[in-house]
Structure 1
Amino acid sequence: MMNRKHLRLAGTAGAVVLGLTGMSACAAAKTSSSGSSGQVTIAVPSWVGAEANAAVAQYLLEHELDTKVKLTQLDESVAFDAVNSGKADAILEDWDGVPQKVKLYVDSKKSIEPAGDLGVTGHIGWYIPKYLADQHPDITNAKNLNKYASLFKTAESGNKGQLLEGSPSYTTNDDALIKNLKLNLKTVYAGSEAAQITQIKENYKAKKPFISYWWTPQWLNNQLDMVEVKLPPYKKGCDSDPKKITCGYAKTPLQKYIGADFAKKNKKAAQFLKNFKWTDAQQNEVAGMIADKKMSPDKAAETWVKANKNVWKGWLPK
């Protein structure tokens, strides 16, 4: 998720084939080509909540608007470059991780235009399992973490407590926070969202103490009772200098963006993407089908779409 002022899952520059993460563009809907509204390429970052957005958007575009959809996995910074150049058409979940590119492409060049609020509010923080908070009530305040750091020691963290992280491509403020708050912790990366979830679930099942970089919305929060550790409160501008950060993370209304040329040439699809807006719970429902129930993204989208016509029918352009 992310960083700049507000944390977000931003990533290393590069793109990989969506099939590597179980995401693939399904075949176009078997409908008549008459009235077709062309093709849309959606940039998808590497976490399952964003995959859920793309899966549902793809399903509806293909089955309701006869629009072929290509999904391409792109980290946040690269996604803006791709939409600017026309190699991609839409970003459905931006955590405000690259504000300089928003300023360049949206405000200055106007090659990208805002497509509205996704309806989901993102938040990053440090979380511990509730059973640990119940045992040590004062552990939920970051100023007391050194008192309990030994509980979090692992082979990877040495003589410090481990702060479990996800993918190395996720931008975080955690190393700066540890240093500036003088905490006896060390960031240790699981390698991916899936690997982090596996580690969290194993620790939780064994009732082991752990502390992890974590975020909402996240489908796993429906299964595990996690408690956020209180970092110093976020205030606007408190994270403007990454080296001096001592505050926690903001709550960020996630945004959508589309290419300006695409919006002119494919008005129906563009309007649909602008109208696409759902809740944290709805995103978690589809994400859980994909990550927990191991459904294909297309099947998860189909299942949700069939059960929620009253939600998505309002997204279709008039």
Structure 2
Amino acid sequence: MKLARNLLFGTAFSLIAANSALAADDATVKIGDLTWTGAKAIGHVIQAVINGPLDSEAVIVEGLSDGSIIAAGMDKGDGSADVYTDLWMPNRAAIWDKYIDGAKTVGHNEPYKGTQKMYVPSFMADKVSSVDDLKDPEIAAMFDKDGNGKGEYWSGDAGWKSTRMWQVKFKSYGLDELWEPEILPDATFKAQLKTAMQREQPILFYYWTPEWVHAAYDITPLDEPARTEGCENVNLDKEDWLEASSFACASEDASIYVAYSKSLETRNPPVAKFLSQMALDPAVVNEWILKIGRDKMDPRDVAEDWVANNMDVVNSWIE
């Protein structure tokens, strides 16, 4: 009888321990691992707040860098993906429409603003100041790296919707006969930019704010036509996205959000509240990017130091 009671107690204790472990794992916050520096900085700050002042647990899932996969994980609510650190709108309108406005399984904070423009080094601004200048074959020839008769411009990384957006823009501006996109990882492009700036070579490229290249280099954005009704008609998720889209005006300033799975509202309510209240200052984000991207500091160290020294801001996010 005593043996039976001991076995029953042992079984009950094992079930309680197992359930506690499952509950702890269910509360663990999985943060996406987006590739650009701003997203990485924000992700590490989120992790530092959750693991520090909130006394919970968050992990950045290495390699979880596809925005569509992160969004699908947030929608499932199974803990496979909980946080999309840097959701650019309207670039990711398909995610917004499907999961935030549609399924209502994804929440978000108040956004900060970002810009998206095409740039040249300022030492070239007297020759190239607007997209109209790019229609000149002699200008395009200055940017022709491989001698195939077309100038190259960096439109972004292969996984970015903005990479498609700029290809649509160049087509809509009538530039695709003279220009072709270079689709390269951000780190590869930054190495090219550094060389071009040092050697004062022509380079044409997409970039955004906030980012550290604006502090490191003297660069100038190209003028584009003002926005008018109907100037932007894009569907970047269609199979024939390039043919089906048009975009012949300046990009609207982006609204950039932290998005999160609403399943956290039951799995880890303090974290859900924090993510909904997190208010990012673009100037502060740029400071993080400078330290991580230009100065090569460890993102975790940057985040933890900032959180420790800015608890007044952090408390406004979590209280």
How many aligned residue pairs are there?
276
Shift of 1:146: 2.7
Q: Relative to structure 1, is the Cα distance of residues 63 and 37 closer, same or farther in structure 2, using a 3 angstrom cutoff?
A: farther
Displacement of 1:71 in angstroms is: 1.3
Alpha-carbon distance in 2 for matches of 1:164, 1:37: 41
1:54·1:92 contact (CA, 8 Å) conserved in 2?
Answer: yes
Counterpart position of 1:285: 287
Tell me if the contact between 1:166 and 1:195 (Cα under 8 Å) persists in the aligned partners.
no
1:180 corresponding residue in structure 2:
172
The alignment status of 1:262 with 2:253, answered yes or no, reads no
Partner-residue secondary structure (3-state), 1:201:
helix
| Aligned partners of 1:93 and 1:254 also within 8 Å | yes
2:209 matches 1:195? no
CA RMSD of aligned residues (A): 2.2
> CA, structure 1 residues 279+103, in 2 after alignment: closer, same or farther (shift >3 Å)?
same
TM-score normalised per structure 2: 0.80
Gaps of 5+ in 1: 1-34
Q: Counterpart of 1:195 in structure 2: which amino acid?
A: T
Q: Which runs of 5+ in 2 are unaligned?
A: 1-23, 235-243
Task: Evaluate the alpha carbon distance shift between residue 307 and residue 166 of structure 1 in structure 2; reply closer, same or farther with a 3 A threshold.
Answer: same
Q: Any residues of structure 2 matched to 1:161-172 within 5 Å, and which?
A: 161-171=151-161, 172=164
Shift of residue 235, structure 1, vs aligned partner:
4.2
Compared CA separation, residues 170 and 272, structure 1 to 2 (3 A): same
Give 2:249's aligned residue: 247
Find the counterpart in structure 2 of residue 272 from structure 1. Answer: 274
Residue 140 (structure 2) aligns with: 149
Among all aligned residue pairs of Structure 1 and Structure 2, give the percentage whose two residues are the same amino acid: 23
Partners of 2:230 and 2:268 lie apart in 1 by 38
Would you tell me which structure has more helix in proportion to its own residues?
2
Corresponding residue for 2:211? 218
Are the counterparts in 2 of residues 36 and 67 from structure 1 also a CA contact under 8 Å?
A: no
User: What amino acid is aligned across from residue 74 of structure 1 in structure 2?
Assistant: S
Per the TM alignment, residue 302 of structure 1 is displaced from its structure 2 partner at its CA by 1.9
Q: What is the CA deviation profile of residues 237-256 of structure 1, one whole-angstrom value per residue up to 9, with x for unaligned ones? A: 53224533222322111122
- Report 1:1-318 matches (<5 A): 38-72=27-61, 73-86=64-77, 87-96=80-89, 97-113=91-107, 115-119=108-112, 121-133=113-125, 135-136=126-127, 139-147=128-136, 148-155=139-146, 158-171=148-161, 172-183=164-175, 184-189=178-183, 191-235=184-228, 237-241=230-234, 242-317=244-319
Q: 1:82-141, CA deviations, whole angstroms, 9 ceiling, x for partnerless residues?
A: 10112212223111333233223223322222x22243x1221110111111x33xx211
Supply the AA of the counterpart residue of 2:50. L
SS in structure 1 of the partner of residue 95 of structure 2? helix
- 1:299 alignment partner AA: D
In the alignment, the residues of structure 1 paired with residue 228 and residue 318 of structure 2 have an alpha-carbon distance, to the nearest angstrom, of 38
